[in-house]
A = this chain, B = another copy of it.
Amino acid sequence: MDDLNWRILELLQQDARTPYSEIGRRVGLSAPAVAERVRRMEDAGIITGYRAIVDPGKLGYGLEVFARLRVAGDKHLAVRKLVMQTPEVLECWHVTGEDCYFIRARLESVGHLEELLRRFSVYGSTTTSLVLSKPVEHRVLKAQGTESAG
């Protein structure tokens, strides 16, 4: 991971569809050279994929919530299965602390939320927070100080 790779990575994080030719123009490399560097970062697992970002609010999911779930010791497998099978759950983290699972979900309505919480409360107590706004949404990962990885 030299400086050129970081700059390529920044550009692709901002717009995954930037043509290699334009990336090359900006970082001072030919298109095939950029393609080769990207291929290597993919192979190394540094770049794990390319995604279109959609706005759930525009698709009928106006409610975003965090539900923190406090789970009894032997229910973990069941919880994992439930979150994986629940399409409303956009992300789920297993974390340390009293609340074992952080669940971020997108819902159509408050009724929809109540239904979701009922499904989860089988496995423990939930603490729910509505998302009001997002001061930081998709931070682009940049090189900080002197980096080396591999």
User: Do B138 and A91 touch (CB < 8 A)?
Assistant: yes
Q: How many copies does the complex hold?
A: 2
**Given A47-B52, A50-B50, A55-B48, also A60-B148 (CB < 8 A):** yes
User: Do A92 and B45 touch (CB < 8 A)?
Assistant: no
**Given A95-B129, A129-B102, A130-B96, also A50-B16 (CB < 8 A):** yes
Q: Tell yes or no: A72 within 8 A of B by CB.
A: no
A12 to B17: give the CA distance in the assembly, Å. 11
State which of A25-33, A82-90, A113-121 sits at the interface with chain B.
Answer: A82-90
User: Do B58 and A53 touch (CB < 8 A)?
Assistant: no
Q: Which 6 A-B pairs have the closest CB atoms?
A: A12-B52, A95-B129, A16-B50, A92-B136, A97-B129, A96-B130
A-B contact pairs, 26 of them (CB 8 A): A13-B51, A13-B52, A14-B49, A16-B17, A16-B50, A16-B52, A17-B50, A44-B58, A46-B58, A47-B55, A48-B54, A50-B53, A51-B138, A54-B141, A59-B149, A60-B148, A60-B149, A66-B93, A66-B95, A84-B135, A89-B136, A89-B139, A94-B134, A95-B132, A97-B129, A97-B130
